[in-house]
Chain A
Amino acid sequence: MTIDVPTTGRSLPQLQPISFIGADGRLTDTPTEGLRIPSDATLTGLYRQMVLVRRFEAQVTHLTRQGRLATYPSAAGQEAAEVGATTALAPNDWLFPTYRDSAALLTRGVPVAEILAAFRGDWHCGFDPHEYHTSPAATPLATQTLHATGFAMAAKLKGEDAATLTFLGDGASSEGDTHEAFNFASVWQTPTVFVLQNNQYAISTPLREQTNATMLADRAAGYGMPGLRVDGNDVAAVFAAVSAALARGRNGDGPTLIECLTYRMESHTNSDDPTKYRDTEEVEHWKQFDPIDRLEKYLRTTGALDDATVAEIAEAAETLAASVRDAMNQEAEVDPRELFAHVYSTPRTALAEQQQVLETELAAAGCA
């Protein structure tokens, strides 16, 4: 008796992350898995967006320290993954972000005030998901990976030309939902790209205490989908890998897992003290791999960037920062009556009674 052993389609990602542009700003000689480096024009656009995003993160972090926002999880240092992946999306594709992906929301075109509404405490989601083809940022870890999978499944059933992209962290990759999403997406062959931002920590827990796997991209093989390990601080590599994965999905070939190796430069949020779990040497080490510096070096050698363009982009970043300050300096308009407005599609008597309590209190406080 012989047992049929299927041998096709099984491959593990290479250990060496896919990278085009090294930390020194020169082209690397690491394997690129048949991917092509984006054009200088595309790279210049990515550079510009990364500079904007970094300024945005710095400004918001600053405002959080001043107490203007209740909390903020910054993605400073992760600009290449946030921007590279999001830029690869077509307008019709949907993004399923988490709490740390404000940079992605900004890249997607969501206005700053609408991005920050959640962190200032105005409302849980400040933007219209349909308008930006972007789901509310999920806070329960890994839950959004399933939403992205389901959305893509519906797109597939409807014959829509839309793919989905979802971000998750190295910590979130330990959650059950991640595994369920990988499996559902692969069994259903949905056009979904899972971008796993391995920024080395889940709050204070380092990667080596999160997983015993050699690399997180390896997990894809167990679900029968391709996994790629990418230098997450090389925006050229992230953009190329995500573009290829989206094309694959749109082509009907199913999901892809992309692990982006990166580093979170700030604390987890403003409320933790990173010196308790990592040393400055480590942070300094990662600064050498800064995603913006290396791209700037590279684009200067190709001639795509000069001092004037860099200065113009820096100015645009200052304008953005000013708009963030303006938006956060304005008092948020919140209407307590909205507490009851969006719970059910049709009115409920019991809620109306409770709303009456609030109305009476508001009237007594002279807010009627």
Chain B
Amino acid sequence: MSVEAGTEPTTDPTTDPTAVNDETATAASAKGDTAPGTARAPEAGPAPSSVTMTKALNHALRDSLADDDTVLIFGEDVGRLGGVFRVTEGLRAEFGSNRVWDSPLAESGIIGTAIGMAMNGMRPVVEMQFDAYAYPAFEQIVSHVAKMRNRTKGRVSLPITIRIPYAGDIGGVEHHSDSSEAYWTSTPGLTVVTPSNPADAYSLLRESIASDDPVVFMEPKSRYWMKETLSLPVSTAPMNRAQVIREGTDATLLAYGPTVRTALDSAEAGAEHGLSIEVIDLRTLSPFDDETVSQSVRKTSRAAIIHEAAQFGGYGAEVAARLTERNFTYLSAPILRVTGFDVPYPSPKLEEFYLPTIERVLDALESWDWEL
């Protein structure tokens, strides 16, 4: 199957005028980002072509539907329209409305019915239209999706994949740019995955759907239009493993989803200041890959974690604590967090002041006492 290259459309402003600021979205795609080369393409296969993250995700869904009759896709506007980000485009036409369909508009209803379907042998892949619109389903996710296996001593497992487009930097209006990962990662029973590039998006989504555990699959909206030259299908490093995507010896930057690009750019900028910076893409937030990250931090002795979500009680706090507990004697400086401020995600004209920038990352690096 060949993958269409080209400029992927943004959210259709005529169908969801509040969703995405069209200009900003195009600007994001026009950054012309390329992936940090995590893909290992198979020997034979279709010729490589330029693939956006949305296309890679779409391809993963299509292959999962084709491989396994129990895979079902439903959610708000995922059928005819193909989702507001077009991730499910064409799937209803290809697999029929018994496999891919538009559900009534109710997030708790979507997750709650997915639970029943999974209990009856299905593998539902459901979409929450935007990060903050998963909140009506919070109860079903934390009280049931996460706990059913435990409650029933493993007799009932729920192989549900919950796709959540998340985070900002796309000029979205209120409630369209939240980073909700800390809610999910502090819930035992959930696996939380977030790719930062098209190859991982394909590979991790395939793995998530095949997993017998429920997965919250967080898609960084600002990376949806990122392109990579790829032959799909592709199999990248396994889920639950972090990856060193740039080697360095002086400090480690940890990032995931939308901030991987920020981390790489900061490392690049750091090199100009004579710093050799290692960058790790966490890929899976829960479970946390202590091994890969600790190894890097023991080598570099300094680490900073970058995320868009607010700092207090955020995911970075967990990372800093774990790394300190395990590697205290190897550290020559405190582990830092470069994050969004502890304020609600701002409106489009202010988001550039909120988001962690290369400058803030460099400031953090500079704050360490390098003489020690």
What is A's interface to B at a CB cutoff of 8 Å?
94, 96, 123-125, 128-130, 135-136, 138, 140, 143, 145-155, 157-158, 160, 164, 176-177, 180-181, 183-184, 187, 338, 341-346, 348-350
Say how far A302's CB is from chain B's closest CB, in angstroms. Answer: 41
Contacts of B157 in A (CB 8 A): 345
Name the B residues within 8 Å of A341 (CB-CB).
153-154
Q: Which residue of A lies closest to B136 (CB)?
A: A176
Q: A129-B119, A158-B121, A177-B108 known; A344 and B189 CB under 8 Å?
A: yes
B116-A136 in contact (CB<8A): no
The segment from B35-43, B51-59, B142-150, B342-350 found at the interface with A is B142-150
The answer to whether A147 and B290 have CB atoms under 8 Å apart is no
* Known contacts A123-B153, A184-B109, A187-B104: A151-B148 contact under CB 8 Å: no
* B72 contacts A by Cβ under 8 Å: yes
**A350 contacts B121, CB within 8 Å?**
no
CB contact between A147 and one of B98, B119, B121, B122 (< 8 Å): that residue: B119
* Contact call B153/A184, Cβ cutoff below 8 A: no
Residue of B113, B149, B290, B291 near A146 (CB, 8 A) is B113
Q: For residue A153, which residues in chain B have a CB less than 8 angstroms away from its CB?
A: 113, 116-117
Question: How many residue-residue contacts, CB under 8 A, span A and B?
Answer: 141
Is B352 an interface residue when CB atoms closer than 8 A count as contact? no
Instruction: Tell me how far the C-beta of A128 lies from the nearest C-beta in chain B, rounded to whole angstroms.
Output: 5
Q: A143-B144, A146-B109, A180-B104 are in contact. List 14 more A-B contacts (CB 8 A).
A: A123-B151, A123-B153, A124-B147, A124-B150, A129-B119, A129-B156, A151-B117, A154-B116, A154-B121, A157-B122, A177-B108, A184-B106, A348-B287, A349-B291
Number of contacting residues on B, CB 8 A?
45
Known: A180-B106, A341-B153. A146 touches B189 (CB 8 A): no
Name B's A-contacting residues (CB within 8 A).
Answer: 72, 98, 103-104, 106, 108-109, 111-122, 136, 139-140, 143-144, 147-157, 188-189, 191, 211-213, 287-288, 290-291
Q: Can you identify 27 A-B contacts, CB atoms within 8 angstroms?
A: A96-B116, A123-B153, A125-B151, A125-B153, A129-B156, A140-B143, A143-B143, A145-B112, A146-B115, A147-B116, A147-B119, A147-B144, A150-B119, A151-B119, A151-B120, A154-B121, A154-B122, A157-B98, A158-B120, A160-B120, A176-B108, A180-B109, A187-B104, A342-B154, A343-B150, A346-B212, A348-B287
Chain B residue nearest in CB terms to A183 = B104
Residues of chain B within 8 A (CB-CB) of A125 are 151-153
Report how far A349 CA is from B292 CA in the complex, Å.
13
Contact B288 A350 (CB under 8 A): yes
Give the distance in Å from the alpha carbon of A350 to the alpha carbon of B289 in the complex: 9
Contact B139 A143 (CB under 8 A): yes
- A152 B112 Cβ-Cβ under 8 A: no
Q: How far is the CB of B186 from chain A (nearest CB, A)?
A: 13
Beta-carbon contact of B72 and A350 below 8 Å = no
Cβ distance A337 to chain B, nearest Cβ, rounded Å: 12
Report the bound CA distance from A143 to B143 in whole Å.
Answer: 9
Contacts of A184 in B (CB 8 A): 103-104, 106, 109, 113
Q: Would A149 and B151 be within 8 Å (CB), given that A183-B104, A349-B287 are in contact?
A: no
Write the chain A residue with the least CB distance to B72.
A157
Question: B151 contacts A136, CB within 8 Å?
Answer: yes
Contact B113 A342 (CB under 8 A): no
On chain A, the residues within 8 Å of B287 by CB distance are 348-350
Closest to B139 in A: A140
The listed residue with most A CB atoms (<10 A of its CB), out of B113, B153, B213, is B113
The answer to whether A344 and B213 have CB atoms under 8 Å apart is yes
Q: How far is the CB of A225 from chain B (nearest CB, A)?
A: 14
Q: Closest Cβ of chain A: how far from B155's Cβ, in Å?
A: 5
Q: How far is the CA of A350 from the CA of B321 in the complex (A)?
A: 14
Using Cβ atoms and an 8 Å threshold, which residues of chain A touch B143? 140, 143
Across the interface, B290 reaches (CB within 8 A) one of A129, A164, A346, A349, namely: A349
Partner of B149, one of A140, A187, A343: A343
CB closest chain-B residue, reference A135: B119
Q: A128-B152, A130-B155, A344-B149 known; A155 and B120 CB under 8 Å?
A: yes
Residue pair B114, A342 in contact (C-beta under 8 Å) = no
- The residue of chain B having its C-beta at the shortest distance from the C-beta of A140 within the complex is B143
Q: Is A154's CB under 8 angstroms from B117's CB?
A: yes
Q: Whole-angstrom distance from the CB of A137 to the nearest CB of chain B?
A: 10
Compute how far the CA of A143 lies from the CA of B191 in the bound complex, rounded to whole angstroms: 22
Q: How far is the CB of A323 from chain B (nearest CB, A)?
A: 23
> For A138, what are the chain B residues with a Cβ–Cβ distance below 8 Å?
144
Query: Quick one: which of B113, B288, B291 contacts A149, CB cutoff 8 A?
Result: B113
- Across the interface, do B188 and A343 meet the contact criterion of CB distance under 8 Å? yes
Query: What are the residues of chain A within 8 A of B103 when measuring CB–CB?
Result: 184
Whether A150 contacts B112 by the Cβ 8 Å rule is yes
Given A157-B72, A349-B287, does the pair A148, B116 have CB atoms closer than 8 Å?
yes
Q: CA of A244 to CA of B281 in the docked complex: distance in angstroms?
A: 57
Residues of A within 8 A of B136 (CB): 176
Chain A residues within 8 Å of B188, by CB: 343
How close is B159's CB to chain A, nearest CB, in angstroms?
9
Chain B residues with Cβ below 8 Å from A164 are: 116
Pair B117/A150 contact, Cβ less than 8 Å: yes
What residues on A are CB-neighbors of B121 within 8 Å?
154, 158
* Neighbouring B residues of A349 by C-beta, 8 Å: 287, 290-291
Given A135-B119, A149-B113, A344-B191, CB of A124 within 8 Å of CB of B212: no
How near does chain B come to A122, taking the closest CB pair, in angstroms? 11
Cα-based distance from A160 to B112 in the complex (angstroms):
20
Closest 7 CB pairs of A and B: A146-B112, A150-B116, A150-B113, A180-B109, A151-B116, A154-B120, A345-B212
- Given the interface pairs A140-B143, A349-B290, the reply to whether A149 lies near B152 with Cβ below 8 Å is no
Measured in the bound complex, the distance between the Cα atoms of B155 and A158 in whole Å is: 21
- Which residue of the partner chain B has the closest CB to A136? B151
A180 → chain B closest CB, angstroms: 3
Contacts A129-B119, A341-B154, A345-B213 given: A150-B114 contact, CB under 8 Å? yes
Inter-chain CA distance A25–B122, complex, in Å, is 47
In the complex, chain A residues whose CB is within 8 Å of the CB of B113: 146-147, 149-150, 153, 181, 184
Task: Kindly list chain A residues whose C-beta atoms are within 8 Å of the C-beta of B291.
Answer: 349
A352–chain B nearest beta-carbon distance, Å = 11
A345 partner, pick from B72, B108, B149, B155, beta carbons under 8 A: B149
When C-beta atoms are compared, the residue in chain A nearest to B159 turns out to be: A345
* A151: B residues at CB distance < 8 A: 116-117, 119-120
Which residue of chain B is the closest to A176 with respect to CB atoms?
B108
- Residue pair B154, A129 in contact (C-beta under 8 Å): no
